[in-house]
Amino acid sequence: MIIFKKARDLAQHLKTLKLKGKTLGFVPTMGALHEGHLSLIQISKAHSDISVVSIFVNPTQFNDKEDFDKYPITTETDLELLERQAVEILFLPSVEEIYPTGYQANNYELGALENVLEGSFRPGHFQGVCQVLDRLLSITQPDLMVMGQKDYQQIMVVKKMIELTDKPVQLIIGPTLRDQSGLAKSSRNTRLTPEQKTQAKALFQSLNYVRDHLKVGVDLEKLTRQAANQLLANGFLRFDYFSVCRQGDLTPIREYQPGLSLIILVAAYIGNVRLIDNILVS
């Protein structure tokens, strides 16, 4: 694996590979790698000749300073995992490399997507996500990029940014990897105590509870409240949202009708760790 810390060196190397006809897959991450990330790397490897992984904890997407300060950094282990996956290229830039002096942040017209669900609880988050991915895609210019369904709203926002900036990249969505209890793998899980980790499986259970009770005429507000209460009874401190939305544009639905492509999304706190998860209903 070749590790690049400088954007210019990486861009030059990738240009040479492209001139040789190699296709590039890109998997952006913030490190503290787990099997979820590795599954995205496998998808990238299956669809391209060379896979580039980036590890960069992007300060501009954190609206909560404590969350940023406490974000786990496990570079040594990450390098071992990536070597074992036979990843060809790692991009490990500094903040200055991504946002050099004189960098002018774009304002992306994300529309309603920016202010619902995650956006309403994390102001500025999605602009930060777009900034970093715009930069990373400009540097790497991959044929495809793989991202996880776990951050469903992020995928929709990134799709929009790709359209707005006219980037010729294909976005592939990888399914959410879970541990045996159903808890979605997440870098933030490392901040949970063993007891909290056991309790955290209630998140996936509560999503399934809502899905299993969807039927014509159901009171959706009551149903999601019941599910949220289950979380509170199982060690969660509070929740930001619990919502049943259309998959296409994340508008909340008022009435359930069979045949709609829906997504159930939740964000909740266990201790001071904020976890998100979702499941699709087709």
Catalytic residue ranges: 37
Binding footprint of ligand AMP, residue count (CB under 6 A): 17
As measured in angstroms, the least distance from the Cβ of 39 to ligand AMP is 6
Among 85, 176, 206, 278, binds ligand AMP (CB under 6 A): 176
- Nearer Cβ to ligand AMP (31/99): 31
Q: Using CB under 6 A, which residues numbered 96 to 155 contact ligand AMP?
A: 147-148, 150-151
Q: Using CB under 6 A, which residues numbered 58 to 97 contact ligand AMP?
A: none
Phi/psi class of residue 196: alpha, beta or left (left: φ > 0; alpha: ψ in -120 to 50)? Answer: alpha
As measured in angstroms, the least distance from the Cβ of 256 to ligand AMP is 27
Q: Using CB under 6 A, which residues numbered 13 to 42 contact ligand AMP?
A: 29-30, 36-37, 39-40
Long-range contacts of 117-121 (CB under 8 A, 24+ apart): 117/153, 117/241, 117/243, 117/245, 117/250, 117/265, 117/267, 118/153, 118/154, 118/267, 118/276, 119/153, 120/241, 121/240, 121/241, 121/267
Q: In sequence order, which residues have a C-beta less than 8 Å from that of residue 281 and are 6 or more positions away?
A: 211, 214, 244, 260, 261, 262, 263, 264
Span of 11-19, 43-51, 118-126, 176-184 interacting with ligand AMP by CB under 6 A: 176-184
Residue 185 makes contact with ligand AMP by CB under 6 A: yes
- Would you say 209 and 236 are in contact if contact means Cβ atoms under 8 Å apart? no
Residues that bind ligand AMP (CB under 6 A): 29-30, 36-37, 39-40, 147-148, 150-151, 174, 176-177, 184-187
